[in-house]
Structure 1
Amino acid sequence: MSQLQDNFGRRFHYLRMSVTDVCNFKCSYCLPDGYHPTGKQHFLSLSEIENLVSAFSQVGTQKIRITGGEPTLRKDFTDIVRIVSDNPSIHTVATTTNGYRLAQHAKEWFDAGLRRINVSVDSLDPKMFYQITGENKFDEVMRGIDAALTAGFERVKVNAVLLKGMNDKDLPRFLNWIKNTPIDLRFIELMETGLGRDYFQAHHLAGADIKAQLQSQGWSLDIADIDDGPAQNFSHPDYRGRIGLIMPYAKNFCATCNRLRVSAKGKLHLCLFTESGLELRDLLQHPDQQAELIERLHAQLAQKKETHYLHQGITGVTQHLASIGG
């Protein structure tokens, strides 16, 4: 089967597969009022996930990130990891989590085949962590990160959304932490969504400001790997950890796009922002639908736009990032 490619020559090696849109945190930039279900929660079943993974593995997907909401809220999360890792064409199995179950399950998930993990930690100040997430679980999450490092994960990343007036003074504390800890720290520029214009205007901080600070302190830009996401990664000879910056408002941010998304209810999203998704679930019911499913994937890639248009103030239809896995 030929690899998924769009009309701009971009090839897609990376799938972000949401398995639930439920989240137990109330992050101020995503779900400030907490999760509110809409209708019955008919998320993808294990058999549907297996058929989805199989189809994507046949069209060049090498990395799958299991996302949410909070993906580990699913009782069968370990089974999902195993389904992905058992596919020989998938070289990298990753997840993004708020870390609340990590301390108890890091070894179990590693043994099931999970190899990379991103943990959201928006501040190293427990009080600010609580203010941003709405949950007093800082110590629990940090124990989870230690457990992941002990379990042997190839790469442990920590995600922090940059928020002016909230965690923007935390950079020295973060840098001190990764001086002797092999963490990949990811600063993510706040993105405007349909529900967040006022919040965005109050708290947006340009990632370019952090980039300038890092470069002035001797951090250098790394060469990207084929399955890397959109982060610009930086390293420093005096630090065990690395830093990545995700700056969606930067020029040509979309030029290296290599990822697609499937929502927890089986819709393909060509972009995080620009469209409401294409139904795939009707073709996830039986393995003998694989050829038709792959044909639909190729047809949809022809519709992918060149950019997300965020820099023009167009947020698209996405109301909050939890709905399709960020």
Structure 2
Amino acid sequence: MDGLGRRARDLRISLTQACNLRCHYCMPAEGLAILPREELLSADEVVRLVDVAVDQLGIDEVRLTGGEPLIRRDLEAIIAAIRTAHPEVPVALTTNGLGLARRAKELAAAGLSRINVSLDTVDRELFAAITRRDRLPDVIAGIDAAVTAGLAPVKINAVALQQNLDRASELLRWCLDRGLALRFIEAMPLDAEGTWDRNSYVTAADLLAALGEDFALTAVGREDAGAPAERWRVDGGPGTVGIIASMSRSFCGACDRTRITAEGRVRPCLFSDDEIDLRSILRGGGDDADLIAAWREVTWRKSPGHLPADILTHPRRSMGAIGG
């Protein structure tokens, strides 16, 4: 519980800040500095933090992120250990989809509950321009494999950009035809190169206007109060599209998330530079009470919300170094 009475029930743990794409809204062209393996949380440390979070801090959902979590060779082992200890807790994964075609079946067997795949466009040339890599066929193969493995509903995360706004309807149609749940996300000032522009980012209103030229959209609201995505029924349904309007329609008042970086620092908000090092407690012989005290301390300081877009500044860490 934070100082405003919000209970954190959704834990997001980054497993690495390395990534095999270079999306300009997240990564610099050369990538982020590679953390030595010993600086990353080990599989056992990840599982211990989840144990504490679920058993003693009220967490009831876990999401593994990055960087790109599929880079971790022990990902299936981490998922299996979490599900064995907490079979009632959903374990989700956010990935760019590269390598997913080879591992989707094993991830499902390990106990992965659901998966979100980042995909900003289905135009190959535009995909290469946004990600700085020509890998669209591999991502689509990964999505297909996730569906085949039963990781449904597969959700697609698309960052809304000036580059892809005129292709938004194309992506939505592609997802609807495949039974995929598409969510657009407003770009945030979390890019490593600091190029986000408060005067030109694509807002939820921009997206609704663009999609409304091709589809009839009916607002249906959020799945629950803490859900980040507002949803619209498309052409009467059953398909829907979601928009996560972090910048123009902040939902901070109902935020239920807490995040741990790949090197074990807990932070209550993407936009907050307030962190406490849990890895040092783990490796210094600290017990669960020590972890809980540190975790609660930073959570209690959680702010009411991030500043408005017109005055918000870049946090010290980029999205890739925090974990989505």
How high is the TM-score relative to the length of structure 1?
A: 0.90
Q: Secondary structure at the residue paired with 1:95?
A: strand
Give the letter for the 1:182 counterpart.
G
Q: Are 1:81 and 1:112, in contact at CA under 8 Å, matched by a contact in 2?
A: yes
1:8 aligns with 2:7: no
Q: Are 2:25 and 2:191, in contact at CA under 8 Å, matched by a contact in 1?
A: no
Q: Are 1:110 and 1:153, in contact at CA under 8 Å, matched by a contact in 2?
A: yes
Equivalent-residue separation in structure 2 for 1:228 and 1:184 (angstroms): 18
Equivalent-residue separation in structure 2 for 1:240 and 1:181 (angstroms): 13
Q: Secondary structure at the residue paired with 1:281?
A: helix
Alignment of 1:122-137 (within 5 A): 122-137=120-135
- Unaligned ranges ≥5, structure 1: none
1:114 alignment partner in structure 2: 112
**1:222–1:289 distance in 2 versus 1, CA, 3 Å:** farther
Moved more, 224-233 or 243-252: 224-233
1:142 aligns with 2:143: no
Alignment of 1:299-318 (within 5 A): 299-318=297-316
- Unaligned ranges ≥5, structure 2: none
Equivalent-residue separation in structure 2 for 1:194 and 1:142 (angstroms): 25
1:26 alignment partner in structure 2: 22
Q: Are 1:276 and 1:318, in contact at CA under 8 Å, matched by a contact in 2?
A: no
1:53 aligns with 2:82: no
Alignment of 1:156-167 (within 5 A): 156-164=154-162, 166-167=163-164
- Kindly, what percent of the aligned residue pairs are identical? 34
Equivalent-residue separation in structure 1 for 2:250 and 2:191 (angstroms): 23
Q: Are 2:188 and 2:196, in contact at CA under 8 Å, matched by a contact in 1?
A: no
Q: Are 2:267 and 2:274, in contact at CA under 8 Å, matched by a contact in 1?
A: yes
**1:254–1:146 distance in 2 versus 1, CA, 3 Å:** same
Equivalent-residue separation in structure 2 for 1:172 and 1:203 (angstroms): 20
**1:50–1:84 distance in 2 versus 1, CA, 3 Å:** same
In the TM superposition, residue 171 of structure 1 has moved relative to its aligned partner by: 1.8
Equivalent-residue separation in structure 1 for 2:110 and 2:149 (angstroms): 12
**1:150–1:48 distance in 2 versus 1, CA, 3 Å:** same
- CA offsets 1:137-177 (integer angstroms, 9 cap, x no match): 1011101111111111132111111111x111112212321
Q: Are 2:192 and 2:319, in contact at CA under 8 Å, matched by a contact in 1?
A: no
Give the letter for the 2:51 counterpart.
S
Moved more, 45-54 or 206-215: 206-215
Q: Secondary structure at the residue paired with 2:165?
A: coil
Q: Are 1:64 and 1:84, in contact at CA under 8 Å, matched by a contact in 2?
A: no
Among candidates 25, 37, 42, match of residue 33 of structure 2: 37
In the TM superposition, residue 317 of structure 1 has moved relative to its aligned partner by: 2.5
Q: Are 1:162 and 1:168, in contact at CA under 8 Å, matched by a contact in 2?
A: yes
Alignment of 1:68-87 (within 5 A): 68-87=66-85
Among candidates 88, 92, 95, match of residue 94 of structure 1: 92
Give the letter for the 1:208 counterpart.
A
Equivalent-residue separation in structure 2 for 1:31 and 1:208 (angstroms): 26
Q: Are 2:15 and 2:66, in contact at CA under 8 Å, matched by a contact in 1?
A: yes
**1:96–1:69 distance in 2 versus 1, CA, 3 Å:** same
In the TM superposition, residue 276 of structure 1 has moved relative to its aligned partner by: 4.3
In the TM superposition, residue 239 of structure 1 has moved relative to its aligned partner by: 4.6
Give the letter for the 1:16 counterpart.
R
How many residues end up aligned between the 2 structures?
A: 321
Q: Are 2:265 and 2:275, in contact at CA under 8 Å, matched by a contact in 1?
A: yes
Give the letter for the 2:169 counterpart.
P
2:149 alignment partner in structure 1: 151
Q: Secondary structure at the residue paired with 1:243?
A: strand
Q: Are 2:105 and 2:149, in contact at CA under 8 Å, matched by a contact in 1?
A: yes
In the TM superposition, residue 236 of structure 1 has moved relative to its aligned partner by: 3.0
Equivalent-residue separation in structure 2 for 1:37 and 1:78 (angstroms): 25
- CA offsets 1:154-210 (integer angstroms, 9 cap, x no match): 32111111111x111112212321333221101111111374444435851112222
Q: Are 1:65 and 1:95, in contact at CA under 8 Å, matched by a contact in 2?
A: yes
Q: Secondary structure at the residue paired with 1:86?
A: helix
1:296 alignment partner in structure 2: 294
Among candidates 153, 170, 181, match of residue 173 of structure 1: 170
**1:134–1:33 distance in 2 versus 1, CA, 3 Å:** same
Equivalent-residue separation in structure 2 for 1:325 and 1:264 (angstroms): 8
Equivalent-residue separation in structure 1 for 2:172 and 2:251 (angstroms): 25
Q: Secondary structure at the residue paired with 2:166?
A: coil
